[in-house]
Structure 1
Amino acid sequence: MGLRIMLTGATGFLGSHLARALVRNKHHVVILKRSFSDCSRLGDIAGELTSYDLDKTELRIPFERHQPFDAIIHTATAYGRRDESDAALVETNVTFPLQLLQASIQHGTELFLNTDTFSRTALAWQATYMLGYHLTKKQFAEWGSHLSAIHQTTFANLRLEHIYGPFDQSSKFIPFITNWCLRNIAELAVTAGEQKRDFVYVDDAVNAYLVLLENRSALPKGFVEYQVGTGQATSIRELVQKIHALTHSSIELKFGAIPYREKEIMCSQADTTALERLDWKSKVRLEDGLAMMLESEEFAK
């Protein structure tokens, strides 16, 4: 028998892949969205989801109608890339998930899976780049740690590395570079590319959530963190060169034409030990993941 799951951010990149995987695994999925959300990523499974528009429905309603939930999966976020105010970032990244966490505790949900980011390090949020995003993600994780300890529920904090795959936002780094190479514009200006990132394919990230759901009864109470990545770091330069080769692009790559950001993270790499103890591991190599992304409907037009 499937689980009863509440999912936020289902219309987004990661959330839509999660929704599809949960439906495929026969779980009952209740999604929280807004009436004006773009649901195009969910077109093929929309009829298999129970949906609530939070700008028209009180948060208590889905809990009262569908409780008890086996887990809450929170992926909704605001990055600040759309010129959101600091107050709007706090509303989306702290106030709303805090209300969600409190409601889940009130209605007896014992597992809250929170989506966090690798870039929320002390070094990263000292910089001005996306400060509001990093600060609010840090604040909600602290609330999760506090409330889960008091109420003896499990707050599993998933620190995601750089996720990529089909149907991500075009403004994100990998889709942006891919589209630029495919268009064969004269040249592409990038940094020197010495900084390293742990690039993890979206299916592997989704499987991390599924593994935690499968092992929910064995997870410790309180705050527990899982780093989600391949455990290997690849330089930006190497990544861009791989995309350039896979797209057979003739564009000139101008490494070093753009300076690094202030307090740039020069290396990020997941420690996947905690997930590996639950028999999870990354399966998709970077070259294979990029190839699958290029073969998807999004790029194969």
Structure 2
Amino acid sequence: MKILVTGATGFLGSQLVKALRLDGHTVIILKRSTSDCSRIQDVLPDLITYDTDRGEWEAPFFEQGRMDVIIHTATCYGRNNESNAMLVDANVTFPLKLLDVAIRFGTPVFMNTDTFSSAPLRLSRHLQPYNLTKRQFREWGKSMADTSSLRFINVRLEHMYGPYDNTNKFVSSVIKSCLENQPELRLTEGKQARDFIYVDDVVSAFRVLLENAACLPAGYAEYQVGTSKATSIREFVELVRQMTQSSTVLKFGSIAYHDLEIMHSQADIRPLQALGWNPQVELEDGLRKVMSVFK
């Protein structure tokens, strides 16, 4: 297949394009001219690249012919003090332009990477701008899939982790703190439950969805990607401390919960299981892999 991928230089996107190349697909990526390509340096010569900041984001459709699938993984979290306008531009306006072009050029499948944190009716204030933009684009996808022949597949990820993720993410930061034996780690009470899913399992879910894309119902469909197991933050952090044999003092309760904190998130993976997918990496095994890279 001919597959266009956004966010290919990021944590998930980089793993995904490598898997797609191994599967024999033609992979075209949209990136910025200033993007850090270190995660995909080994496969970059095998990819067809276009730079969006040079006005090339529509060029693949003219130069490469009809795309079979678009996989949208690019996102802006707002962690670097981006304005709300910048979040909207990155998470709504850009993918919406891509969606418009996809429909115009007859692309049959658009796969959108979504997050569990955008699902609640009332969004937690500390992540509200990010989650609001993710929800807004999801709604646009539903609307446009209802009025066209496009299949819009919303891939809702639970708490993804793995090697080479950004160190300011929760899993990486906890592991780093414990491996460095930092004096203390300030935390909430840790009663929130999360479904931790290893990045390789996320990639395999995308691959299964690609294999079955032509058979999926027309219009909008959502697939939740997780392990279907919920682990409390407290259990998770204590496990990391035990596995690293760290001396770091875990100060549970030293940070207050955010307003409207999501206290339980757990994927319903039955629709994916019906397609033949199941997660393979247990939490401890996944953590060992991340720790080995840190070491």
TM-score (norm 2): 0.98
2:118 maps to what in 1? Answer: 120
Structure 2 Cα separation of the partners of residues 12 and 131 of structure 1: 22
Paired residues for 1:1-301 under 5 Å: 3-123=1-121, 125=123, 127-296=124-293, 299-300=294-295
List alignment gaps of at least 5 residues for structure 2: none
Deviations 1:140-191 (A, max 9, x none): 0111011111112100001100000011111000000111111111111111
Deviations 1:223-267 (A, max 9, x none): 100000000100001110111112121111111111111111100
Question: 1:53: how far off?
Answer: 0.5
The answer to whether the Cα contact below 8 Å between 2:51 and 2:57 also exists between their aligned partners in 1 is: no
The DSSP-based 3-state class of the residue aligned with 1:98 is helix
Question: 1:60: how far off?
Answer: 2.0
Structure 2 Cα separation of the partners of residues 123 and 114 of structure 1: 20
Structure 2 Cα separation of the partners of residues 122 and 184 of structure 1: 36
The DSSP-based 3-state class of the residue aligned with 1:69 is coil
- The one-letter code of the counterpart of 1:229 is G
List alignment gaps of at least 5 residues for structure 1: none
Deviations 1:42-90 (A, max 9, x none): 1111111111111113322111111211100000011111111111111
Deviations 1:8-63 (A, max 9, x none): 00011111110111111111110000001111111111111111111113322111
Structure 2 Cα separation of the partners of residues 118 and 124 of structure 1: 13
The answer to whether the Cα contact below 8 Å between 2:16 and 2:203 also exists between their aligned partners in 1 is: yes
The DSSP-based 3-state class of the residue aligned with 1:243 is helix
CA RMSD of aligned residues (A): 1.0
The answer to whether the Cα contact below 8 Å between 1:190 and 1:258 also exists between their aligned partners in 2 is: yes
The answer to whether the Cα contact below 8 Å between 2:50 and 2:56 also exists between their aligned partners in 1 is: no
Structure 1 Cα separation of the partners of residues 159 and 200 of structure 2: 13
Equivalent pairs counted in the alignment come to: 295
The DSSP-based 3-state class of the residue aligned with 2:118 is coil
Stretch moving more, 244-253 or 218-227? 244-253
- The one-letter code of the counterpart of 2:82 is E
The answer to whether the Cα contact below 8 Å between 1:124 and 1:265 also exists between their aligned partners in 2 is: no
The DSSP-based 3-state class of the residue aligned with 2:202 is helix
Question: 1:121: how far off?
Answer: 2.3
Identity %: 52
